[in-house]
Chain A
Amino acid sequence: MATSVEHPTAALKVQGLRKAYDDVIAVDGLDLEVESGECFGLLGPNGAGKTTTIEICEGLLSPDAGSVEVLGRRWETDTKELRELLGIQLQDTQLSEKLTVDETLTLFQSFYRDARDVGDVIDTVELGEKRSSRVGTLSGGQKQRLAVACALVGNPQLLFLDEPTTGLDPQSRRQLWDLISRFQAEGKTIVLTTHYMEEAERLCDRVAIVDHGHIIALGSPRELTESLDISHLPPPEPRKTTATLEDVFVSLTGRTLRDE
């Protein structure tokens, strides 16, 4: 990178990230900077490298090359501290079905030095009525809110959410959006991945579109939609407004389905 100006408020800084698995290069020279207090979205088709990128940032995978700086710290030297400062929701964690909501959060709370009150977090994610219910009896939306609650209970400065609303009904999704907005309103940072363009437009200050392991577009949702030349789009009907972010996404990454 030519610019050597250090952004003093970068909550996440990724440079030249590379990660290959046996048969595929998942991340191929990815650079990224997320400002403190920002809600940042990573968009991209399945297999684009979003989850690998986010898991490297979370310190769960180690990169083959490149550097990651989270809240001014590095995984190589400050693992313990970073674990205290981050809240993480993984794509497909199944929490123990035999424990109650309360027990699950009390367990997660016990790992952190400076944790939030369990009752508090339960109220935040609106699971008060389910407090003593076993996780196995929760609906999909409730399970997902519990997963987010587990990420919040450590009182994090930076929240990583990997497809937090995938598979949720619109109501549950909106509930999670509110939650994320409130977290951001406290001046904290969020990095999320999503397949839903509406979600990205609504929540994210800036988004990065990732494909084939690197970023192919970066900017605020508005910047990206305005940058697209809509005259080449094949709209089935004439459009009244400018292109949606979904148009940007599809025109950049193609229309082919990429189910893993």
Chain B
Amino acid sequence: MSDPRPVEKGTSALGKRVPFPLTEEQRARELRPLKRRGLMNSSMVQLTLVRFREFIREPEAVFWTFIFPILLAAGLGIAFRQRGPDKIRVGVIGTAPTSASVIASLKKDSTLVVESYDDSSGAKALRTGKVALLVAPTSSNDSVRYVYDRGRSDAVNARVVVDRAVQVGAGRADPVRATDAYVTEKGSRYIDFLIPGLLGMNLMGSSIWGLGFAIVTARSKKLLKRLMATPMSRVQYLLSFLASRLVFLILEIFTLLGFGHWAFGVPLRGSLGTLLLICLLAAISFGGLGLLSASRARTTEAVSGIMNFIMLPMWIFSGVFFSSSNFPTVVQPFIKVLPLTAVNDALRANMLEGVSFAAVLPQMIIILTWGVVTFFAALKLFRWR
């Protein structure tokens, strides 16, 4: 009573912190095991559902992911379809005495389209590229003159065909009888080269855009910060992007490959399992790149710049529309380690050559390495607010 300080309580208050007195409700809450929830109420499912909803409710995103690649494939497939050799257009000066017999000889060759000109209009037709070659018959039956540009391969080709027609027409007999057998090999056409490239490009685009844009939008709207103020797991948040990507990935693969296969007969010679595995690794790997591009940016403008900076070189160098072997040998090693090059090479090897899993292993390692490195770099750099 004489001591103003309550000894026991006083010392403990100095040393330890007084625990906050729990209300009955809180105590009950802390003792209660985690409430049993339906699968639909788990945060992982909810986060993934949100990704789906946000994607599906963005018509532009659906267009660029699913419709655009098909339109591109259809357009390029039709533009570069196999049509057989083009007809060769040639002109003949019709004013010489022997012109009529030359024209008759040329018309016997079905690959030639023959038109008759006078001197000045013939020169003009040649100059403007309307005809590949101009035949100028002379007054005598045993000579003819060809006027053409030696630097143009179609003109040189026309020279061979026209000359053969003229010589045969004049009575030349071939000593050897030749016959032709025509083949068209599926897998060697432009569309066959194109479809795997488009698939690779699409996997890259939708992963990088899908993650990068969504994350930076959430950050710039302070939504990311708001989510950080909940007990939400950060790992689940990032995984939800991958989970939704994987579902859309299957759709992307089937629409594009299905279209290529059905409309153009693009072959699928390799194992479908390996093909799916390549796509899966690609989606995860590009997902890592998307995450990395989105890890710091605060505005969607900034992240758009970063993503284009990452993707543009790969659109050019990684053999989407034309083979990457067109580039000089010195830069080939750099091109080969780009993730999209590895994806495209692996997809083509699988689909067109039907190689085994082991044969695409080097590419898979490159893809996986990119995924792992970028994912961890992104986690390290990630700005959660």
Q: B221's closest neighbor in chain A, by CB?
A: A94
Across the interface, which residues of B come within 8 angstroms of A154, CB to CB? 230-231
- B58 CB contacts on chain A under 8 angstroms: 98
Check B43–A93 contact: CB distance below 8 A: no
Report the bound CA distance from A77 to B58 in whole Å: 41
Structural contact, B54 and A108, CB atoms closer than 8 A: no
Q: What 12 new A-B contacts, CB under 8 Å, besides A103-B50, A110-B42? A: A4-B14, A60-B229, A60-B385, A83-B229, A90-B229, A92-B222, A93-B223, A96-B50, A96-B218, A99-B50, A99-B53, A150-B226
The distance in angstroms between the C-alpha atoms of A114 and B33, with both chains bound, is 10
**A96–B57 Cα gap in the complex (Å)?**
11
Closest 9 CB pairs of A and B: A72-B20, A94-B221, A83-B231, A110-B46, A110-B43, A98-B57, A88-B229, A93-B226, A111-B230
Query: CA of A103 to CA of B45 in the docked complex: distance in angstroms?
Result: 12
Per the bound structure, the CA–CA distance linking A93 and B221 in Å amounts to 6
Cα distance, A72 to B29, chains bound together (Å): 16
Cα–Cα distance between A191 and B309 once the two chains are bound (Å): 45
Shortest CB–CB separation between residue A141 and chain B, in angstroms?
A: 19
Q: Give the complex CA separation of A99 and B13 in angstroms.
A: 49
Q: How far is the CB of B244 from chain A (nearest CB, A)?
A: 14
B contact residues around A93 at 8 Å (CB):
221-223, 225-226
Provide the B1-31 mask, 1 if CB < 8 A to any CB of A, else 0: 0000000000001100111110100100100
Say whether, besides A98-B53, A99-B53, A111 and B43 are in contact (CB < 8 Å): yes
Q: How far is the CB of A154 from chain B (nearest CB, A)?
A: 7
* Contacting residues of chain B (37-59) with chain A, CB-CB under 8 angstroms: 37, 41-43, 45-47, 49-50, 53-54, 57-58
Any B CB within 8 A of the CB of A235: no
CB of A73 closer than 8 Å to a CB of B: yes
Is B239 on the interface with A (CB-CB < 8 A)? no
Q: Which residues of B contact A108 (CB under 8 A)?
A: 230
- Partner pick for B20 among A71, A86, A94, CB 8 A cutoff: A71
> Does B312 sit at the interface, judged by CB under 8 A?
no
Is residue A106 within 8 Å, beta carbon to beta carbon, of the partner chain?
yes
Q: Residue B228 at the A interface, CB < 8 A?
A: yes
Is A6 in contact with chain B by the CB < 8 A criterion? yes
Report the contact-size class of chain B (Cβ under 8 Å from the partner).
35 or more
Contact of B231 among A10, A69, A84, A98 (CB under 8 A): A84
Q: CB of A80 within 8 A of chain B?
A: yes
How many positions in chain A have a CB within 8 Å of any CB in the partner chain? 42
What chain B residues lie within 8 Å of A94 (beta carbons)? 221-223
Within 8 Å of chain B (Cβ to Cβ): is A163?
no
Is B232's CB within 8 Å of the partner chain A?
yes
A positions within 8 Å CB-CB of B: 4, 6, 8-11, 58-60, 69, 71-73, 80, 83-86, 88, 90, 92-96, 98-99, 103, 106-114, 134, 150, 154, 157, 187
- Per the bound structure, the CA–CA distance linking A59 and B230 in Å amounts to 10
| Contact A83–B230 (Cβ < 8 Å) | yes
Query: In angstroms, how far is the closest chain A Cβ from the Cβ of B86?
Result: 51
Contact A80–B231 (Cβ < 8 Å): yes
Closest residue on chain B to residue A11 by CB atoms: B20
Contacts of A59 in B (CB 8 A): 229
Query: Does B181 touch A at the CB level, under 8 Å?
Result: no
- Give the distance to chain A from B192, nearest Cβ to Cβ, in Å: 39
CA distance A156 to B19 in the complex (A): 19
B19, B53, B54, B58: most-surrounded residue (chain A CB, <10 A): B53
Assess whether B231 is in contact with A113, with CB atoms less than 8 Å apart: yes
User: Do B13 and A4 have beta carbons less than 8 Å apart?
Assistant: yes
Q: A73-B20, A90-B225, A154-B230 are in contact. Are A103 and B53 (CB under 8 A)?
A: yes
Contacts of A86 in B (CB 8 A): 229
Q: Distance in Å from the Cβ of B41 to the closest Cβ of chain A?
A: 6
Residue of A nearest to B227 (CB): A111
Q: Does B34 make an interface contact (CB < 8 A)?
A: yes
In the bound complex, residues from chain A placing their C-beta under 8 Å from that of B380 are none
Q: Point out which of B13, B17, B385 has the most chain A C-beta atoms below 10 A from its C-beta.
A: B17
Q: Are B29 and A114 in contact (CB under 8 A)?
A: yes
Query: For B17, B21, B45, B230, which residue has the most chain A Cβ atoms within 10 angstroms?
Result: B230
Interface 1/0 per residue, B209-231 and A, CB below 8 Å: 00000000010011101101111
Distance, CA A58 to CA B231, complexed state (A): 12
Instruction: Point out which of B17, B57, B218, B229 has the most chain A C-beta atoms below 10 A from its C-beta.
Output: B229
| A113 in contact with B34 (CB, 8 Å) | yes
B32 within 8 A of A: yes
Q: Does B35 contact A (CB under 8 A)?
A: yes
Q: Residues 88-122 of chain B: 1 if any A CB is under 8 Å from the residue's CB, otherwise 0?
A: 00000000000000000000000000000000000
Q: Which residues of B contact A4 (CB under 8 A)?
A: 13-14
